[in-house]
Amino acid sequence: MFEIGEYVVCGSKGVCVVEDIDTLDIAGVDRERKYYILKPKYQAGSTVYVPVDAAKESMRRVLSFEEAKRLIGMIPELPLLDIANDKLSEQIYKERMRANSCEEWVRVIKTIYQRKQKRLQAGRKVTAVDARYFHLAEESLYGELAVALGLEREEVCAYISGELEGGERAERECSDGEKSALQSV
């Protein structure tokens, strides 16, 4: 069970804080059923209601500081996604994003970054699907790592780059998606 004030990851809403655990007084909703009332950290003005008895499928705790550091250290070893047919790429990206796992988000980012570089070298544009899922995966990953590491989301890219480059804090700009923190792996 999650506690009030705890940070959790809730599906496509990303990092949320558990604001309350209560029944809902809304027409058409079982008034005996308890819900987690969540406030997304990066989507102002939004509220999410998740039944306590169904939370296991859609919610998990945010990584701890140690887990986040371990994940960053594993980035170079995480394999790319196997996409044999470009027409199936969106389906594969969706599945990996739904897995609600930082490791899978890293794999999406690494795979799309590599695909992007190959396309650009061949004089072709990045596909809209790749651009959309690259952004989604970075937003999800950086949002969770920011909370776990006690950083602002905008600082996470440079932090990862610094860790992957031997611990020196990278000062380069990463905000436009052109310079992913994972670009060197």
81 contacts 92 by C-beta, under 8 angstroms? yes
Domain coverage including residue 160 = 65-164
From CA 95, how far away is CA 99, in angstroms rounded?
A: 6
Report helix, strand and coil shares of the chain as percent, to nearest 5.
Answer: 50, 15, 35
pLDDT in tens, 52-79: 998 988 899 999 999 999 999 999 999 9
Tally of domains in the chain: 2
Q: Give pLDDT, residue 183.
A: 55
Domain assignment present for residue 2? The answer is: no
Q: What is the CATH number of the domain that holds 72?
A: 1.20.58.1290
- In the predicted model, is pLDDT for residue 172 greater than 50? no
Within this chain, do residues 94 and 149 fall inside the same structural domain, yes or no?
A: yes
Q: Give pLDDT, residue 178.
A: 44
SS3 state of residue 54:
helix
From CA 107, how far away is CA 28, in angstroms rounded?
A: 40
* Confidence (pTM): 0.88
What is the DSSP code (8-state) at residue 86?
G
81 contacts 96 by C-beta, under 8 angstroms? yes
Q: Give pLDDT, residue 171.
A: 43
Domain assignment present for residue 1? The answer is: no
